[in-house]
Amino acid sequence: MTAHRLVLLVAGACLTVLTLMLLVMPSAAMGRVLVDFRGHGLHQGDVPVLGVWAIGVGALAWGWRRGWG
């Protein structure tokens, strides 16, 4: 594994951990509930967080496949 691929893996892990930290914020800070799952739910503030995560991980995967790693 090259150093570039290691950097891409670390960036993906950091992005995922930061996203999870935002998703477990208290529900009052994230707005109203859009979908309820037995006491847990998808809040209005979770949607942009998940969107940024998907774009970031997609860009990292694209870079991996393009040979940046």
What would the pLDDT profile of 9-51 be if each residue is shown by its tens digit? 999 999 999 999 988 888 777 888 888 888 778 889 899 999 9
**∠57-51-39 over CA atoms, to 5°?**
115
- Indicate if the pLDDT at residue 56 is higher than 80: yes
The larger pLDDT score, comparing residue 67 to residue 46, is at: 46
23, 37, 42 from 9: Cα distances, Å: 21, 31, 27
Q: What is the pTM of this model?
A: 0.81
Q: Residue 4: its pLDDT value, please?
A: 87
Map residue 24 onto helix, strand or coil: coil
Map residue 40 onto helix, strand or coil: strand
Average pLDDT over every residue of 51-67: 92
